[in-house]
Amino acid sequence: MKNKLILLLTYIIIFFNSNLFSEENDNTLKVGLLAPLSGEYKELGESILYSLQLALEEIDDNKVYIIPRDSGFNDSKKLNTAIQDIRSQGAKIIIGPLTHQEFEDVKKYNDITFISPSNINPEFTNNIISVGVSLESQLFALVNF
């Protein structure tokens, strides 16, 4: 009886430890990046990607993984394809879209949080955080000051 109890406890301990080890290995933060990596605004997209890579190098944390995808510029089909690809890789946070016009396309992805650097109408909606600084808001702040 005592041997069976020890054997059962050993199995339970091994089971819980193996689950903890698997969670520890899967403890990376996957962040998607939507940027125009081709076309007319390719240089802007590459600049954003390089800036993000520099920021990651600065924080020096290998548990953060960036998934960059080409979203084009005001290209709804390319944007949705990029989001689906990022989503399939397990990312729950996406930096982008860059323009306010694309907000309607991304509102339907309720399981993903979008952090947009758009500077038109900074707002918080269900799944979009627009953190851009608009010139108009800055002028109002200066006038009020």
Q: 43-68 pLDDT, tens per residue? A: 888 888 888 888 888 888 788 888 99
User: How far is it, in rounded angstroms, from Cα 80 to Cα 62?
Assistant: 28
- C-alpha to C-alpha distance for 17 and 11, rounded to whole angstroms: 10
pLDDT, residue 98, reads: 76
Q: Find out whether 94 and 32 touch, Cβ atoms under 8 Å.
A: yes
Q: What local confidence, expressed as pLDDT, does residue 62 receive?
A: 82
> Higher pLDDT residue, 144 or 8?
144
All domains of the chain in start order, with CATH: 28-144 (3.40.50.2300)
Q: Rounded mean pLDDT of 17-36?
A: 68
Which two tokens mark 109? 């992805």
Per-residue pLDDT tens digits for 61-109: 788 888 999 998 888 899 999 999 999 999 998 988 877 778 878 888 8
Tell me what pLDDT residue 124 has.
66
Q: Beta strand pairing status for 93-95 and 113-116?
A: parallel
**Residue 19 reports pLDDT greater than 80:** no
Mean pLDDT, residues 3-31 taken together: 55
